[in-house]
Amino acid sequence: MRSRYLPSVRATRAGLAGLVGLALLTAGCSDDSGTPSKERSPSASASEEPGPDSTASAAPAKGSVKVERTVTTGLKAPWGLAPLPGGDLLVSTRDSGKIYRIDGRSGKKTELGTVPGVGAGGEGGLLGIAVPPDDAKMIYAYFTTESDNRIVRMLYDAEKPSGDQLGAPDTIIKGIPKGQIHNGGRIAFGPDKMLYAGTGESGEGGLAQDKNSLGGKILRMTPDGEPPGQGNPESDSVVYSWGHRNVQGLDWDDDKRLWASEFGQNTWDELNLIRPGKNYGWPDAEGRTGESGFVDPLEQWRPADASPSGVAIAKGSVWMAGLRGERLWRIPLKGTKPAADPQAFLEAEYGRLRTVVSDGDDGLWLVTSETDTRGTPEKGDDRILKLKVN
């Protein structure tokens, strides 16, 4: 684990006050009590469809994070993470197009293979991965090609030699707009066993409002890539919500509500509660505007403090990884409302944070992103950390 006594480039950016705080921590596992958001955004406007928040239990106003261990190191531009039954992890690497299996105890890496057709460039490449809840021998992957972004599925055979464990990709959906920026990429299976995908508008803001485009949307589909028939705004479409700039994180709370993180432009990054058929405003609205017809975010941050990527729900809170912000945000919930101000953890300790995934209890896996060409890599980057949270 990186020593917190050394004034690295990251710590210098955090400022002298941050160095004093870090010096009080031990060089082993860290307990981080968190810091509140430095700049509170305007109060949330009333929800268009308020939930039963008056009877919902609230997460504690203050939480904690303990870095229990470093699972593995030496990853290059890791992006997606998918837990397997038994405790091992699958991780995708954006630029090489490779998928690795990480032994959950020893951290040993085994290469499954390279996903064919990946055209890495800019923010594109091999992005999110997901494993169906009832079939650990199938891997879904979202990636950029030379012409689009698409989702494929591949059989996974761990008995085959390293590097040759992936079957031929079966494309389930294609034609998602691609660009040097805003390729989206997060995929996840929901509690309804449908596959969800967060897409970007590829730098063309108007696509987010175009219901005939797959860009700037959250998509919901069957495992075969087809419209589910029920639950989407239109029975013959995979579009679930629209008006998004670049969705980066997806997860569900205990009441099966979908939450998503999203890059803003210059003003506000967002955490949104997603409802089918709703318009989240981009490019006409960024952050809370109160404008009719658009859904305001639950929380918002200045991009320097967040630039969010993955999200995970654990212990009644949303946990959101920050890239430019180089911190892990905790947003305590009371139903569909914030229970208290967001807290920041691990600020400037591990650099850019890409992906966070719940272990189903009080633990999180956290993936750093210092080797994605925008970080300042140190020895051992990038890494997967195991956290205990409350």
Per-residue pLDDT in tens (0 to 9) along the chain, 390 residues = 443 323 334 443 344 344 333 333 333 444 566 777 655 454 443 334 445 687 899 999 999 999 999 999 999 999 999 999 999 999 999 999 999 999 999 999 999 999 999 999 999 999 999 999 999 999 999 999 999 999 999 999 999 999 999 999 999 999 999 999 999 999 999 999 999 999 999 999 999 999 999 999 999 999 999 999 999 999 999 999 999 999 999 999 999 999 999 999 999 999 999 999 999 999 999 999 999 999 999 999 999 999 999 999 999 999 999 999 999 999 999 999 999 999 999 999 999 999 999 999 999 999 999 999 999 999 999 999 999 999
| pLDDT score recorded for residue 39 | 54
| pLDDT score recorded for residue 48 | 43
What is the pTM assigned to this prediction?
A: 0.90
| pLDDT score recorded for residue 45 | 39
- CB burial class (10 A; 0-12, 13-18, 19+) of residue 127? buried
| pLDDT score recorded for residue 332 | 98
| pLDDT score recorded for residue 32 | 61
Q: What distance in Å separates the CA atoms of residue 7 and residue 16, rounded to the nearest whole number?
A: 10
Tokens 């175009």 belong to residue? 210
| pLDDT score recorded for residue 34 | 78
Domains and CATH numbers, the chain: 23-37+52-389 (2.120.10.30)
Q: What distance in Å separates the CA atoms of residue 303 and residue 219, rounded to the nearest whole number?
A: 25
| pLDDT score recorded for residue 20 | 34
